[in-house]
């Protein structure tokens, strides 16, 4: 469960809920299309036990408790005009079989909204990058290729600690939200993944892994983040591995100039760092 608020100074007074589109809690006036480096939203997430939410009445009871807590805290609550407090949604997450998006801090999610048992005209597609390092999140542009109307949001998520009761941790996210055709007209997952330039590095890593495995090599992930660079690099530590490094470069279609001796990952004989020159 999560709740949002716009990150700006507010006077701590008790107010009755208002309905005004320009103050909806999920958008800011300057977050329409261009990425913004200022955090405009805070999202507070609570972990819920699904066993306690077996009926729609339980959901309404929970919503009432949350509303009262927000009101006592002096935080203004603005419901989305026209939407009921409890909404039915189907949620689908897209990823590769190796979870390449999740492992690189990306999330691609589709939501299908229902009203009175019927799906709405369009589904909502959200693409986001999540990371504790706010500077790293600022550097990622989550917008799709040109021609799609989107809303971009920069959030700070406040979550409970995973290993103890009490305390909190922060994760920063840059979200891109757009409308898509309804569920009956879904495109393939690969087609959706190709719409976001930010995933180029993730896709090239997956392609390189397939090429290396097919070439008879063992792929070992060193656990570092996928970052974009201009040229690819194949590094070997021991001089005896030079020929093997050259073969790895050839397998990946990289020039001989990409091979060099140096310090690589501690868990591999040869380290490959892919750049924008890798074509897959």
Burial 9-40 (b: 16+ CB within 10 A, else e): eeeeeeeeeeeeeeebbbbbeebeeebeeebb
pLDDT for position 23: 32
pLDDT for position 227: 53
**Residue 141 pLDDT > 70, yes or no?**
yes
Instruction: Tell me the pLDDT band of 128, cut-offs 50, 70 and 90.
Output: very high
Query: Distance (Å, rounded) from C-alpha 84 to C-alpha 217?
Result: 55
Burial 67-92 (b: 16+ CB within 10 A, else e): eeebeeeeebbbeeeeeeeeeeeeee
Its pTM surpasses 0.75: no
Average pLDDT, the chain: 75
pLDDT for position 222: 55
**Residue 73 pLDDT > 60, yes or no?**
yes
């Amino acid at each position: 469960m999560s709740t949002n608020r716009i990150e700006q100074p507010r006077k701590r007074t008790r107010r009755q809920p208002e309905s005004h589109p320009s103050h909806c809690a999920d958008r800011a006036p300057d977050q329409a299309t261009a990425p913004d480096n200022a955090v405009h939203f805070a999202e507070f997430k609570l972990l819920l036990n699904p066993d306690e939410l077996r009926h729609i009445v339980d959901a309404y009871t929970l919503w009432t408790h949350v509303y009262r807590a927000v009101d006592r805290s002096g935080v203004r609550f603005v419901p989305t005009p026209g939407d009921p407090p409890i909404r039915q949604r189907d949620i689908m997450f897209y990823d590769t079989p190796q979870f390449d998006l999740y492992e690189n801090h990306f999330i691609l999610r589709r939501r299908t909204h229902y009203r009175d048992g019927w799906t709405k005209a369009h589904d909502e597609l959200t693409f986001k990058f999540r990371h504790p390092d706010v500077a790293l999140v600022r550097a990622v542009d989550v917008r799709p290729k040109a021609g799609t109307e989107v809303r971009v949001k920069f959030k700070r998520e406040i979550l409970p600690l995973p290993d103890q009761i009490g305390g909190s941790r922060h994760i920063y996210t840059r979200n891109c939200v757009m409308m898509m055709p309804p569920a009956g007209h879904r495109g393939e997952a690969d087609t959706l993944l190709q719409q976001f330039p930010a995933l180029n590095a993730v896709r090239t890593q997956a392609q390189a892994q397939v090429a290396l495995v097919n070439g008879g090599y063992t792929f070992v992930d060193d656990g570092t983040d996928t970052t974009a660079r201009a040229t690819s690099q194949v590094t070997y530590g021991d001089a005896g591995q030079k020929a093997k490094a050259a073969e790895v470069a050839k397998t990946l279609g990289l020039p001989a100039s990409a091979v060099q001796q140096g310090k690589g990952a501690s868990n591999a004989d040869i380290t490959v760092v892919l750049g924008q020159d890798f074509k897959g």
